Structure 1
Amino acid sequence: MPFFRIVSCFLPGLLFAGLSVAAHAEPLPPAFTAALQQAGIPLDHVAVVVQPLDTDKPLISHNADAALNPASVMKLVTSFAALNQLGPDYVWKTDVWAEGPIREGVLEGDLVIKGYGDPTLTLERMWLLQRELRERGVRHIRGNLVLDLSDFELPASDPGAFDGEPLALYNAAPGALVANFNATTLRLRPDGNAIGIEPDMALPGVTIRSDIALTESAACNGWKDALTPSIPDPERRELVVGGHYPRGCGEQALSLNLFEPAVTFDFLFRGLWAETGGTLGGQTVPGMAPETPPLLRFESLPLTDSLIRLNKYSNNLMARNLFLTLGAEAYGPPATPDKGARAVREDLVQRGISTRKLVLENGAGLSRIERISAGALNQLLRAAYRSPLFAEFESALPIAATDGTLKRRFKGSTLTGSAHLKTGTLRDVSALAGYVDTASGRRVSFVMLVNHANASRSEAAQRALLEWVQSEMSLDSGARDDVR
């Protein structure tokens, strides 16, 4: 297994399949269309469906059948299928075997760990896993650390292929054993006229070099964007962090996607084990778990807890692992992207949701090829609303101007606290989908997808349309048929 990944920059073009515009029976809200025009976004690159949940027809349906890239709004599809197929109390497991006798706290053989895709093994939960292992009498390990990754079967991938940012945490690859979202955290500390860099956990054999220029600025906004971490030569195991850093920032934490998941798991497991006085004398090697019952079975928090972090903070790795888990549970291990796509698609079909325009790659929306129509997303939102698991589904969505990815959006608006919406953002893509509570207490499903070079300028149009919906303008005038 290569220690570092080699970077390539292949950026597939954005496809616009099935876009069509028909004459509107009535115009879309003027403030909305004006905001789109000011942003330079043509209406034929926008899809909108707005439907009160107590009516049978959409209030607005514009380009509802167009196959568009939803970015991270695709996480709604994966989350919906997961609640249906796995259930809200589903837990992932991580199994641990002691291959050898345990005498006076010393395991004389190997420690074997098999992962099944738990995406919630944070540092805190890894510590709890190790605590349970110590309670079973293991404090020192003389043999190897054996990692069984066989529950996932993943194609080779380049984390830089998506956007040329292989070290960005959102590009972290899924895996059967993933620790702390595959994040390696570095502490940046001004030290005289230089910036010192210290990893949270020991990284044996890895060199970290600071080429950061310290500036005297007191402003700290955008400090991460001013840094340029890179791995000039993967064979040298050297990370170089360049760029500029304002002295006024003080100490900050920078989390990066540096290693393959199994390598990060190894570093973090060994680091935490050493911090609590444990020793691990052998190497870390791949292998297969024995057929015997494990010494320890460590379970994740329930799926509902995972969905909150997955959707409110749009965690790609969690969504990708969940997508793969759906495939493994439906068709048996090993988990593959194809099995995940089949499991999701079949769940939607069972619930009467159109899959005609659906294209799935990883279920997270971190994709240039994933597609869905606004009409299908609206069907999903309405099916979720009718489900007995609606409370679990909705509670995982960001709340306007309150938390998650919407914490800083729509500030000062009447939308604050009254809209649960999943966000989606990529280059040339901006999306929102979820539920809006109107001024009179009605609930409305809302989908807006923008696929255009100026998509990043669409927030004013989103706000205008959401405020129009919330104020219930024309809600009592009957449903519109904006697309024939």
Structure 2
Amino acid sequence: PTAPLAQRLAAALATSGVEWSRSGALVVDLRSHRTIYAQNAWVSLVPASNEKLAVSYAALTALGPSYRIETSVLGDGRLVDSVWRGDLVLRGRGDPTLEAADLTDLAAQLREAGLAAVTGAIVGDESFFDGRRTAYGWKPQFYLNESPPISALSVGRSGSREPALAATIAFRKALRKAGVRVHGGVRLGRTPAGAWPLASVLSPSLRDLVHAMGTESDNYTAELLIKELGAVVARRGTTPAGAAVVTGVLRAARIPLRGVRIVDGSGLSRLDRLTAGAIVGVLQAALADPLVAPSFLAALPVAGRSGTLEGRMRAPPARGRVAAKTGTTSLASALSGFVAGRFAFSILQNGNPVPRWSARASQDRFAAILASQ
């Protein structure tokens, strides 16, 4: 006879090589709302990139799926004939997709509006966020290797230690290429009060940003989005302010916060903590919100088909039936999401280091068992 479902799920996790006390899991039947399996479901554990589930839910809830991030050019001075007498300011608001083509677009907008010369400087404004380039609790090697420097103004995911300055220099070149003479140099600063908006470009929608972040586990986008939440909702473009917004959104959704500590957006921080129960709560809350659910679900990798799960669970019954967020650092391995539209589940496994390959194999077996139901 076939062993009970909970017993088979426990057996799958028992092969992970992870200490029982450092492994948390929870499965809820979405139809009956019954708990199918629980192991240390409320134990506080390092979530790795499963942190991005909380950030995605909070961003979609607080900002909306159609939200776009603006990068703009403002003028401090006045236009005399075709000459701007004063400075031009390139102001960033944290668009993770900003590229050189966008700078070309901005320069073309100015030229088409009749601007042929600038007497002053080109000023880069990254003050929408603070100047911290990493998040608290990161290993030193994560800087540049796991995420480019964090800035509200950065072009092409710049690896420059001064990304806003690099962007400003690139914009000055784009202006010259568009036929706009620039007599001044480049510098960083803040947009003066009363500066005139002259040109702008918009990022893709938040639903698209969250999709890219979730499917490929993009740390950079996650870190920019948590600062975006801080800047827009709390009026402070810092990671701690954004983390407080995320926590507040979870609290408003009545997700249990005991054992939860949001420190960064990506899950790279060794200080982050979530519980399997809290993550399942995020999954259920996202699914229950008709404005959030389509974008949230579309951002989950699909077993054997897309994103970070493309190379995992490539055979039936899991293939195409498991949609879940992966997570891997030296301290944690995680997998949380949905199975066949019937189950919401979360697995968090910690170690120092975590045995990542055996942990991942046990997660895949666990999800495949659920997919076979």
Fold-level match, TM-score > 0.5?
Answer: yes
| Separation in structure 2 between the aligned mates of residue 426 and residue 117 of structure 1, nearest angstrom | 26
Separation in 1, partners of 2:161, 2:277: 39
SS in 1 for 2:67: coil
Task: State the partner residue of 2:122.
Answer: 145
Q: Which runs of 5+ in 1 are unaligned?
A: 1-23, 183-256, 473-484
Give the aligned partner of residue 266 of structure 2: 364
Partner of 1:177: 153
Q: Does 1:416 align with 2:297?
A: no
2:355 is the counterpart of 1:449 = no
What is the DSSP-based 3-state SS (H/G/I as helix, E as strand, rest coil) of the residue aligned with 1:61? strand
**Corresponding position of 1:462:** 363
| One-letter amino acid matched to 1:444 | F
Residue type at the aligned position of 1:146:
V
| Structure 2 residue corresponding to 1:312, chosen from 211, 215, 218 | 215
Task: Tell me how far apart the structure 2 counterparts of residues 443 and 68 of structure 1 sit (CA, whole Å).
Answer: 25
Question: How many positions carry a matched residue from both structures?
Answer: 366
The answer to whether structure 1 residue 401 and structure 2 residue 304 are counterparts is yes
Question: 1:339-364 CA deviation, whole Å, 9 max, x = no partner?
Answer: 21221111111111011111111222
Once residues 247 and 367 of structure 2 are traced to their aligned partners in structure 1, the CA distance between those partners, rounded to angstroms, is 30
2:108 to 128, 131, 139: 131
Query: Letter of the aligned partner of 2:72 in structure 1?
Result: D
Counterpart of 2:153 in structure 1: which amino acid? Answer: L
Amino acid at match of 2:44: A
Larger helix share, 1 or 2: 2
TM-superposed CA distance for 1:399, in Å, is: 1.6
- 1:68 aligned partner: 45
Partners of 1:397 and 1:422 within 8 A in 2:
yes
Could you say which residue in structure 2 is the equivalent of 1:27?
A: 7
Q: Kindly indicate whether the alpha-carbon contact (under 8 Å) linking 1:140 and 1:278 is maintained by their aligned counterparts in 2.
A: yes
Q: Which amino acid aligns with 1:331?
A: A
For residues 165 and 153 of structure 1, the distance between their equivalents in structure 2, rounded to whole angstroms, comes to: 19
Shift of 1:140: 4.7
For the Cα contact (< 8 Å) 1:154–1:337, is it kept in 2? no
Query: What secondary structure sits across from 1:327 in the alignment?
Result: helix
The one-letter amino acid paired with 1:391 is P
Following TM superposition, by how much is the alpha carbon of 1:422 offset from its aligned partner in structure 2, in angstroms? 1.2
Identity of aligned residues (%): 32
**What is the CA deviation profile of residues 60-88 of structure 1, one whole-angstrom value per residue up to 9, with x for unaligned ones?**
11110111111111111011111111111
The offset of 1:431, in angstroms, is: 0.9
CA 1:277–1:33 in structure 2 vs 1: closer, same or farther (change >3 Å)? same
Distance in 2, matches of 1:273 and 1:406, equals: 43
RMSD: 2.7
Aligned-pair distance for 1:157? 5.2
User: Would the alpha carbon gap of residues 468 and 82 (structure 1) be closer, same or farther in structure 2, given more than 3 Å must change?
Assistant: same
TM-score scaled by structure 1? 0.69
Aligned-partner residue type, residue 340 of structure 1: G
Amino acid at match of 1:116: R
Q: 1:163-242 alignment to 2 at 5 Å? A: 163-168=140-145, 170-182=146-158
Which secondary structure state, in structure 2, belongs to the residue aligned with residue 167 of structure 1? Answer: helix
| 1:57 paired to 2:34 | yes
Evaluate the alpha carbon distance shift between residue 402 and residue 273 of structure 1 in structure 2; reply closer, same or farther with a 3 A threshold: farther
**Structure 1 residue 34, shift from structure 2 partner:** 5.3
8 Å CA contact retained: 2:227, 2:242: yes
| Residues 214, 300 of structure 2: 8 Å contact kept | yes
Give, in whole Å, the separation in 1 of the partners of 2:347 and 2:240: 28
Instruction: Please tell me whether the aligned partners of residues 428 and 456 of structure 1 are also in contact (alpha carbons under 8 angstroms).
Output: no
Once residues 57 and 137 of structure 2 are traced to their aligned partners in structure 1, the CA distance between those partners, rounded to angstroms, is 29
Instruction: Provide the C-alpha distance between the structure 2 equivalents of 1:418 and 1:69, rounded to a whole number of angstroms.
Output: 26
2:198 matched residue in structure 1: 295
State how far apart, in whole Å, the 2-side matches of 1:271 and 1:47 are: 53
Q: Distance in 2 between matches of 1:408 and 1:104?
A: 60
Structure 2: distance between partners of 1:363 and 1:450: 19
Which of 241, 248, 253 is matched with 1:346 structurally?
248
In the TM superposition, residue 59 of structure 1 has moved relative to its aligned partner by 0.7
> Compared with structure 1, are the counterparts of its residues 313 and 156 closer, same or farther at alpha carbon in structure 2 (3 Å cutoff)?
closer
- Supply the distance in 2 between the matched residues of 1:140 and 1:407 (Cα, whole angstroms): 51
Distance in 2 of aligned mates of 1:41 and 1:407: 24
Q: 1:319 to 1:161 in 2, by over 3 A?
A: closer
What is the rounded CA distance, in whole Å, between the counterparts of 1:343 and 1:286 in structure 2?
28
Q: 1:296 to 1:156 in 2, by over 3 A?
A: closer
With over 3 angstroms needed to count, the CA separation of the structure-2 counterparts of 1:366 and 1:96, relative to structure 1, is same
Match of 2:88 in 1: 111
8 Å CA contact 1:108, 1:142 repeated in 2: yes
Distance 2:208 2:319 in 1: 23
> Helix, strand or coil for the counterpart of 1:433?
strand
Q: Distance in 1 between matches of 2:67 and 2:360?
A: 36
User: C-alpha distance in 2, partners of 1:123/1:414?
Assistant: 44
Change (3 A) 1:159 1:31: closer
Q: Distance in 2 between matches of 1:57 and 1:273?
A: 61
The one-letter code matched in structure 2 to 1:66 is: V
* CA distance in structure 1 between the partners assigned to 2:135 and 2:40 by the alignment: 34
Compared CA separation, residues 403 and 141, structure 1 to 2 (3 A)? farther
SS at match of 1:97: strand
**Post-superposition offset of 1:44:** 2.2
Structure 1 residues 157 and 412 mapped into 2: Cα distance closer, same or farther (>3 Å)?
closer
Task: Say whether the 8 Å CA contact 2:168–2:187 is kept in structure 1.
Answer: no
Q: Aligned partners of 1:69 and 1:159: how far apart in 2?
A: 14
Which of 319, 329, 335 in structure 2 is aligned with 1:426?
A: 329
Q: 2:166 aligns with which of 253, 264, 278?
A: 264
Q: Bigger radius of gyration, 1 or 2?
A: 1
Relative to structure 1, the CA distance from residue 68 to residue 392 in structure 2 (aligned partners, 3 Å threshold; closer, same or farther) is: same
Residues 95 and 30 of structure 1: CA distance in aligned 2, closer, same or farther (over 3 Å) = closer
